């Protein structure tokens, strides 16, 4: 009997490739740190939907609910659509059903990778976009209206309960990062509270929670100014917490800032459940060629180990998560790899072998 159960969903396209690479990393840390994970893989995604008319295999959703953590590759293909015209995306159902409100999207500049910004301080960029992931403007998904072909409406929804949970999560994250010597122990609320009632409400709840977490610095920024500063001086940002739609946009911008979507990890965390996946999609343009960059998948896997270790009070997993995170960093610092996505020559296998080599 394994110590922990992981529900694994490789999905489609490069999701399958980066998941294979993540399995090799997990096996390595299981033997090194002395714990065992059951990694039951479940079918699901666009290819599966095309073959069966279902987006997930029978029992898969319940297996995800019962698991200690959920690990996702990527799902969806542009030419496979549900009857309503949208892409196959069962992880969005999990996000809602498991109330995964905290979308943690780190953007970290790795050594020896090309920089978009000429200022050398950009090398130290290490920030997190914390995207609320269950409400905001996305609460309108499937509920928008068009009146008489003349007016369309989508409604923003901000709730006190989720906002309080989100901000408390943000302050805790700032503390944990600081304890590990990362970040600046600061949380910035990014909003548009000068214009919208919903955003003023969001900020007022931030202010309340900031007062209860006074050991962490709390600052505030309007989203337009925050976007400007993310390009002008991303190295000054630490944890930026924001509504769903703003987070959707700014997290991709940050992925671009550090080289591309293959460098953009993601964790979607709730009170009991959490799902870990790279922020990128299935990238059909490069799928099947072995050239996908697994870096984001590795860092997402490290975040899974860290979260699981914290939840279970199991230091072995916390240390394993830290080791994977460090090994990815070290592989870049050694100059051993530069992924094809970033203009280098390292394919998926090269990046995986380099990280495994650091792990020993
Ligand atoms: P989605 O619509 O779900 O965002 P997508 O495949 O259209 O999915 P992304 O996955 O975000 O879009 O990726 C955009 C492009 O970035 C891809 O087409 C691919 O060229 C590149 N890309 C994304 N992820 C990786 C990766 N891990 N390694 C290399 N290139 C990647």
Which of the listed CATH numbers 3.40.718.10, 3.40.50.2300, 3.40.50.300, 1.20.210.10 matches domain 115-258? 3.40.718.10
pLDDT of 300 = 98
Cα 176 to middle of ligand 1, angstroms: 30
Q: Which two tokens stand for residue 39?
A: 């990694």
pLDDT of 199 = 98
Pocket test for ligand 1, best of 46, 280, 344 (most atoms within 8 A of CB): 280
CB-CB neighbours of 198 under 10 Å:
18
What is the C-alpha R_g of the chain?
Answer: 20
Q: Which of 303, 283, 6, 7 is nearest to 130 (CA)?
A: 303
| Residues with C-beta less than 6 Å from any ligand 1 atom | 14, 76, 260-262, 280-283, 285-286, 292-293, 296, 341
**Span(s) in the chain for CATH 3.40.718.10:** 1-101+272-360, 115-258
CATH code for the structural domain at 1-101+272-360: 3.40.718.10
Atom of ligand 1 nearest to the CA of 89: 3
CA distance 293 to 342: 9
pLDDT of 85 = 85
Pocket test for ligand 1, best of 12, 249, 261 (most atoms within 8 A of CB): 261
CA distance 117 to 232: 8
Sheet of 102-108, strand order: 37-41, 4-11, 69-74, 274-276, 267-269, 102-108, 126-132, 239-242, 186-191, 217-222
pLDDT of 86 = 86
Pocket test for ligand 1, best of 265, 283, 290, 352 (most atoms within 8 A of CB): 283
Q: Atom 10 in ligand 1: which residue has the minimum CA distance?
A: 281
pLDDT in tens, 40-73: 999 999 999 999 999 999 999 999 999 999 999 9
Atom of ligand 1 nearest to the CA of 281: 10
pLDDT of 100 = 98
Residues (pLDDT < 70) of the chain are none
Q: Atom 2 in ligand 1: which residue has the minimum CA distance?
A: 281
Pocket test for ligand 1, best of 16, 251, 286 (most atoms within 8 A of CB): 286
Cα 262 to middle of ligand 1, angstroms: 7
Cα 282 to middle of ligand 1, angstroms: 6
CA distance 148 to 133: 31
Q: Atom 11 in ligand 1: which residue has the minimum CA distance?
A: 280
Atom of ligand 1 nearest to the CA of 279: 11
pLDDT of 29 = 98
């Amino acid at each position: 009997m394994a110590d922990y159960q992981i529900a694994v969903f490789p999905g489609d396209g490069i999701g399958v490739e980066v998941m294979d690479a993540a399995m090799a990393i997990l096996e390595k840390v299981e033997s090194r740190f002395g714990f065992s994970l059951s990694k039951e893989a479940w079918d699901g995604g666009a290819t599966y939907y095309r073959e069966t008319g279902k987006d997930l295999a029978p029992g898969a959703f319940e297996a995800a609910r019962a698991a200690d953590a959920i690990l996702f590759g990527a799902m969806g293909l542009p030419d496979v659509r549900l009857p309503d015209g949208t892409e196959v995306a069962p992880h969005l159902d999990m996000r809602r059903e498991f109330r995964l409100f905290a979308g943690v999207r780190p953007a970290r500049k790795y050594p020896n990778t090309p920089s978009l910004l000429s200022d050398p301080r950009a090398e130290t960029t290490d920030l997190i976009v914390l995207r609320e992931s269950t409400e905001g403007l996305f609460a309108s998904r499937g509920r928008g209206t068009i009146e008489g072909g003349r007016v369309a409406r989508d409604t923003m929804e901000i709730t006190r309960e989720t906002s309080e949970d989100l901000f408390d999560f943000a302050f805790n994250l700032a503390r944990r990062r600081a304890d590990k010597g990362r970040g600046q122990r600061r949380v910035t609320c990014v909003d548009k509270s000068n214009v919208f009632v919903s955003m003023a409400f969001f900020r007022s709840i931030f202010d309340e929670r900031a007062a209860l977490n006074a050991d962490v610095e709390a600052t505030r920024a309007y989203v337009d100014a925050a976007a400007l500063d993310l390009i002008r001086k991303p190295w000054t940002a630490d944890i930026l917490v924001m509504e769903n739609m703003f987070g959707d946009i700014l997290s991709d911008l940050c992925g671009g800032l550090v080289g591309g979507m293959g460098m953009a990890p993601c964790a979607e965390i709730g009170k009991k459940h959490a799902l870990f996946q790279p922020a990128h999609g299935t990238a059909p343009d490069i799928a099947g060629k072995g050239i996908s960059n697994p870096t984001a998948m590795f860092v997402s896997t490290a975040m899974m180990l860290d979260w699981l270790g914290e939840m279970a009070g199991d230091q072995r997993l916390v240390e394993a998560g830290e080791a994977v995170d460090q090994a990815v960093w070290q592989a870049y610092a050694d100059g051993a790899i530069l992924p094809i996505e970033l203009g280098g020559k390292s394919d998926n296998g090269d990046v995986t072998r380099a990280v495994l080599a650091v792990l020993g």
